[in-house]
Amino acid sequence: MQYTYLLINFFSLLVPFILSFESRIGYYKKWKYLFPAMTATAVFFIIWDVIFTANGVWGFNPKFVTGIRVFSLPLEEVLFFFCIPYSSIFAYEALGLSSKFKVQSSKFVSALLLVISITGVILFHDRAYTFYTCLFLSIFLLMQLLWIKGQYLGRFYFAYLVILIPFTIVNGLLTGSWIGEPVVWYNNEENLGIRLLTIPVEDVFYGMLMLGMSVSIYESLKTKTFFTTKSTERIKID
């Protein structure tokens, strides 16, 4: 039972890792872009996680973790920020093999999500998980709309819709949908108290932010460009 969270990470990673060497996708060839992107994103989310755990916004059931700690977090929680992006970006790449799989109106989707996020920031400033998820997602979306203008967003939004299926299974397990007790518990005073099965609704936007940041950095490294404050200018990396 103490290996539950570790096993959830392992099985989330297993199939995408095996298929990384499939010739059409060639995911392993992109590890040089993938790992820096995942690491940069993980640093941000681990810092966020440490602060929220210390303040009781969420926590971890000792029955389901090994007890090994990294940065005051369970080892399994730190691994989560690598296993899930690895598997999700694999799905993003696999779905990208077909040009049919994308959202055409990505600017509209981004604008709609931005309105929802800003509304959350304004209305729920007293609920830490809701407020900060909406705040950071708003910043990410504003950067995409006004500065980065990534051409990959339509593809990402479609991939995220597909990813929501395994997301529901993994997060359902972590929040106790099928195992009786949660691996990760949430303080409902710090969120809206709205659950999808046992999953806080904020997790949908939290996951979008985590994977969106990972994909954005990943794509930037693949094209070997940094974006300047002027959206039309690009500085090429030597």
**pLDDT level of residue 230 (50, 70, 90 thresholds):** very low
Range of the structural domain that residue 69 is part of? 4-236
Q: Scan for tokens 């992107």, then name that residue.
A: 37
Q: Who has greater pLDDT, 235 or 163? A: 163
Provide the pLDDT confidence category of residue 238 given band limits of 50, 70 and 90. very low
Q: Which residue has the tokens 């997602």?
A: 137
- The residues near 175 (Cβ < 8 Å, ≥ 6 apart) are 182, 183, 184, 185, 186, 195, 197, 198, 199, 200
Q: Distance between CA atoms of 148 and 72, rounded to whole angstroms?
A: 34
Query: Average per-residue pLDDT in the chain?
Result: 91
User: 139: which residues sit within 8 A by CB, 6+ positions away?
Assistant: none
Q: Residue 224's pLDDT is what?
A: 78
CA dihedral 77, 53, 130, 178 (to 10 degrees): 50
Burial of 209 (0-12, 13-18, 19+ CB in 10 A): buried
Return the ∠ at Cα 10 (arms to 8 and 14), rounded to 5°: 120
- The pLDDT value recorded for residue 234 is 41
Q: How many domains does the chain have?
A: 1
As a whole number of angstroms, the distance between CA 9 and CA 77 comes to 9
pLDDT tens by residue, 102-157: 666 788 999 999 999 999 999 999 999 999 999 999 999 999 999 988 889 999 99
| Average pLDDT for 186-206 | 97
> Please, which pLDDT band fits residue 99 given cuts at 50, 70 and 90?
low
> Is the predicted pLDDT of residue 93 greater than 90, yes or no?
yes
Over residues 29-78, the pLDDT tens digits come to 999 999 999 999 999 999 999 999 999 999 999 999 999 999 999 999 99
Which has the closest alpha carbon to 224: 236, 206, 233? Answer: 236
The dihedral sign for the CA sequence 81, 82, 83, 88: positive
pTM: 0.90
